[in-house]
A and B are shown apart, each in its own frame.
Chain A
Amino acid sequence: GQQLNQSPQSMFIQEGEDVSMNCTSSSIFNTWLWYKQDPGEGPVLLIALYKAGELTSNGRLTAQFGITRKDSFLNISASIPSDVGIYFCAGWASSNTGKLIFGQGTTLQVKP
């Protein structure tokens, strides 16, 4: 099935550093979602984006809906050890097949 291109695949950073990850697609998307998954748990919705150019924050997390509607970015500021996990982007394509399209995930490790 269709997938989003999410990068980087993994990151190993020092506590306190800022983190950036992004998702790109060849298709136009109407909605972008960002999730975090802890080991052995279900993904938790962090941020939802609905309009091109939209910038939304949730605590230390900030996400943006790309102006072309083909990409989205997630930034984490001042990382802490509990930020460790897998971050997934997901989106509803304008074709609206009824299926949410996912990126492959970014694994984040934070060194205290």
Chain B
Amino acid sequence: DGGITQSPKYLFRKEGQNVTLSCEQNLNHDAMYWYRQDPGQGLRLIYYSQIVNDFQKGDIAEGYSVSREKKESFPLTVTSAQKNPTAFYLCASRGISYEQYFGPGTRLTVT
């Protein structure tokens, strides 16, 4: 069953703690992306990676970090430096075509 998985679906953390969101894909896609979505808002790009061991900052990278050690995995760490971390986080991937596919998302709540 091919696709993108994000876990967990819901995540709760205390302010000041770092938290890592998981994103795994078995589509053999080279490119992977992290987006943030706030209520009633569009999608904002946090980080993206076009190949293993390489990644670039998106439009709102401050307070976030990523790694791309394996083609299948692109975890996102929300650090304590992120001023407003509560949001819906979406992971996506793209293969050789221009079609980008999304995971089911993780809703992070920080109190």
A92 partner residues in chain B, CB cutoff 8 A: 98
A40 partner residues in chain B, CB cutoff 8 A: 88, 105, 107
Type the 1/0 row for B86-111, where 1 means its CB is closer than 8 Å to any CB of A: 00101010100111111111010000
Q: Does A1 contact B (CB under 8 A)?
A: yes
**Chain B, 9-63, CB within 8 A of any chain A CB:** 31, 33, 41-45, 48, 50, 56, 58-59
CB-CB nearest in chain A for B6: A42
A45 partner residues in chain B, CB cutoff 8 A: 99-102
CB-CB nearest in chain B for A105: B42
CB-CB nearest in chain B for A2: B59
Type the 1/0 row for B75-92, where 1 means its CB is closer than 8 Å to any CB of A: 000000000000010101
Inter-chain CA distance A40–B43, complex, in Å, is 14
Task: Give min CB distance, A34 to chain B, whole Å.
Answer: 11
The answer to whether A104 and B104 touch across the interface, beta carbons within 8 angstroms, is no
The answer to whether B59 and A1 touch across the interface, beta carbons within 8 angstroms, is yes
Question: A43-B90, A104-B42 in contact; A98/B50 too (CB < 8 A)?
Answer: yes
Type the 1/0 row for A84-112, where 1 means its CB is closer than 8 Å to any CB of B: 00001010100000111011110000000
Inter-chain CA distance A39–B73, complex, in Å, is 25
The answer to whether A102 and B98 touch across the interface, beta carbons within 8 angstroms, is no
Task: Give min CB distance, A37 to chain B, whole Å.
Answer: 8
Question: A31-B98, A42-B90 in contact; A102/B48 too (CB < 8 A)?
Answer: no
B99 partner residues in chain A, CB cutoff 8 A: 33, 45, 48
Can you list 23 A-B contacts with CB-CB less than 8 angstroms, sorted by A residue number? A1-B45, A1-B59, A3-B42, A30-B98, A31-B98, A33-B100, A40-B88, A40-B105, A42-B90, A42-B102, A42-B103, A48-B98, A88-B42, A88-B43, A92-B98, A98-B31, A99-B58, A100-B94, A102-B42, A102-B43, A103-B42, A104-B42, A105-B42
Using a CB–CB cutoff of 8 Å, the interface residues on chain B facing chain A are 4, 6, 31, 33, 41-45, 48, 50, 56, 58-59, 88, 90, 92, 94, 97-105, 107
